[in-house]
Amino acid sequence: MARFLKYKNTKMVNIVQISGLNLQKLDRSKTKTKLEKRPPGDFVVIPLKDGFGSSLIPEVEAGDRVKIGQIIARDDGGVSTPVHSSVSGTVLDVSFMKYVHEETLGELPDEIIGVKVEVDRSFWEVEEVEEVNWEKLAPSEIRSSLYRNGVTSFGQTGIPSGHWSSFYDPSDVSDIIVNAVKSEPFTHHRVDFEGELEEFKHGLEIIARGYSEAKIHLAVDPEVQEALGDLSSSQRISVRSFQSEHPNGIDKVLARKILGGDQLDDGGFLMDYGILALDEVVPIHAYGAVVLDHPVSTTRVSLGGPEISNVVVEVPVGLSAGELLDGAQGYKEEDQVILGGPLTGRVMSSPEIPLGKSIPSLVLMKGPERSEVLAWLKPGSKKESFSRAFISSLLPNLDRELDSGIHGELRPCISCGYCTEVCPVDILPYQIYHTGSHDLVDEVNRLQPQRCVDCGLCAYVCPSKLPLSRVLEDAKWNQSPRVKNYVVYEKGEDKIEPSLPEGPNDNRGEAS
């Protein structure tokens, strides 16, 4: 009840200030997660479309020897970022594989090429290099280093570099948001803000130098704020604090809060408004790329769930999710594996999917009970639900038993309005659900689904457990190109290419 009343109150304030839902109490792991480095197993499968960009054609073939950090695929004339080998070893196979869309984490068809490399044990023997004095580099040299070393495939539409890493030009970037806010339970920071503080700060300054016209906004939550100590903002880099309440950790929500919301209502990509949103790991990669000339060859995955030990693991790009889970304390084979967070992620269809740069976290949860007739009527004091049908809503401090089930058979909308109450961008999920179910496309578009920020809160609070966030996602895919805010991949003759709607910048991607 208390939580529900809280929403009643927050609804009175401007949507940009809505406080969000504190889900952290679902996460009983109060200990800070440590960063562990794990060596590869026997082989890795490196996706040739990792993050934003087209699927590349490999420059290696079965039988070739490759070294860690070697470029194995590159196309300077297509929208992409070079891909590097994450290990030293021998190429075993080059074939199509399953991989995921960098933003929605939905599975892309078997049209991404993967390079399978058998590992030899020189993996951790990274060559010592002389550090580069980045302060003497021109902005274009910094951006070229980010491109060459594989950093520019991060971000919703890639990082503009003056090369074809994005459809946008570096001069289009007016604001950069570095997102160090974690608001979903069981997802953790992938930067060690105590041990890696210097690298992180230098990485931020490197980004600021590479985009000298842009303002940098570092968004932090209380955990990062505590680790960073006395935060000071400069004219170019400002630090903004946010509570760990969902959906504060979502890029589009931070963009609305930091830069104002109304202009984003028209849909499209954040870069259409000059906003480049970057994950907290990007400054660390930027430091490695520009100062040490190290390509991105590892990925950091946060591993969490109600029953497992929470940990952040650094592994070579291309290690399979299954291989990572094999070593996870508390993992059971019947657990459902969710790519991303429990509210915004997707259930993984196969443990064979390799871990690339764009997979930030895996959450393990009990799957739904097979048959639970009228389960939602059972009071269950430990069941997690927003609905007051469950006695758990009267006991807000009790630990919850979280699973991914809908607790019973499919149920109709009961017009309770919870989904509207909780939506941070003030749209009407239940109306989109109803009109969408009847294929009333014009009516759906009139309800402006493009404003949805994919927070998943509507589906979470719905007592009927309707798949509202997926319905919203479909509604967005089906919109006109002008307001579409997901990258669509189109199949060409021998590879898939990203396609973005026509924008005002005719010079996107031109080399400087």
Footprint on this chain of ligand SF4 (rule: CB under 6 A): 413-419, 422-425, 427, 429-430, 433, 452-458, 461-464, 466, 468-469, 472
Quote the least distance from Cβ 383 to ligand SF4, whole Å. 16
Nearest CA to 41 out of 311, 323, 375 is that of 323
Quote the least distance from Cβ 10 to ligand SF4, whole Å. 13
Q: Residue 123 or 273: which CB sits closer to ligand SF4?
A: 273
Q: Residue 321 or 471: which CB sits closer to ligand SF4?
A: 471
Which secondary structure element, helix H or strand E, spans residue 92, and what is its range?
Answer: strand 89-100
HSE (side-chain half, CA atoms, 13 Å) at 253: 30
Quote the least distance from Cβ 470 to ligand SF4, whole Å. 9
Amino acid at 80: S
Q: Residue 99 or 433: which CB sits closer to ligand SF4?
A: 433
Residues 6 or more apart whose CB falls under 8 angstroms from that of 506 comprise: none
Residues 6 or more apart whose CB falls under 8 angstroms from that of 218 comprise: 178, 180, 204, 237, 238, 239, 240
Quote the least distance from Cβ 11 to ligand SF4, whole Å. 13
Q: Residue 99 or 430: which CB sits closer to ligand SF4?
A: 430
Which secondary structure element, helix H or strand E, spans residue 93, and what is its range?
Answer: strand 89-100
Helices (H), 242-355: 251-259, 281-292, 321-326
- In 3-state terms, what secondary structure has residue 326? helix
Residues 6 or more apart whose CB falls under 8 angstroms from that of 104 comprise: 346, 454, 473, 486
Residues 6 or more apart whose CB falls under 8 angstroms from that of 345 comprise: 105, 338, 339, 361, 363
**Angular region, 223: left φ>0, alpha ψ -120 to 50, beta rest:** alpha
Quote the least distance from Cβ 46 to ligand SF4, whole Å. 32
Q: Residue 168 or 386: which CB sits closer to ligand SF4?
A: 386
Q: Residue 359 or 423: which CB sits closer to ligand SF4?
A: 423
Cα separations (Å) of 329 from 37, 188, 298? 16, 17, 22
Quote the least distance from Cβ 64 to ligand SF4, whole Å. 45
| Encoded tokens for 455 | 């927070």
| Encoded tokens for 24 | 């952290």
The residue whose two tokens read 């070593």 is: 327
Q: How many CB atoms lie within 10 A of CB 442?
A: 7
Quote the least distance from Cβ 149 to ligand SF4, whole Å. 35
Q: Residue 263 or 350: which CB sits closer to ligand SF4?
A: 263
Quote the least distance from Cβ 279 to ligand SF4, whole Å. 20
Q: Residue 93 or 265: which CB sits closer to ligand SF4?
A: 265
Which secondary structure element, helix H or strand E, spans residue 203, and what is its range?
Answer: helix 197-210
CA distance 506 to 498: 16
Q: Residue 89 or 261: which CB sits closer to ligand SF4?
A: 261
Quote the least distance from Cβ 372 to ligand SF4, whole Å. 19
Quote the least distance from Cβ 290 to ligand SF4, whole Å. 36
Nearest CA to 321 out of 336, 309, 306 is that of 336
Nearest CA to 291 out of 168, 154, 169, 128 is that of 128
Q: Residue 324 or 475: which CB sits closer to ligand SF4?
A: 475
Nearest CA to 159 out of 114, 87, 105, 214 is that of 214
Q: Is 409 exposed, middle or buried (0-12, 13-18, 19+ CB in 10 A)?
A: exposed
Quote the least distance from Cβ 114 to ligand SF4, whole Å. 31
| Encoded tokens for 77 | 């004339």
Quote the least distance from Cβ 425 to ligand SF4, whole Å. 5
Q: Residue 458 or 500: which CB sits closer to ligand SF4?
A: 458
Q: Residue 181 or 468: which CB sits closer to ligand SF4?
A: 468
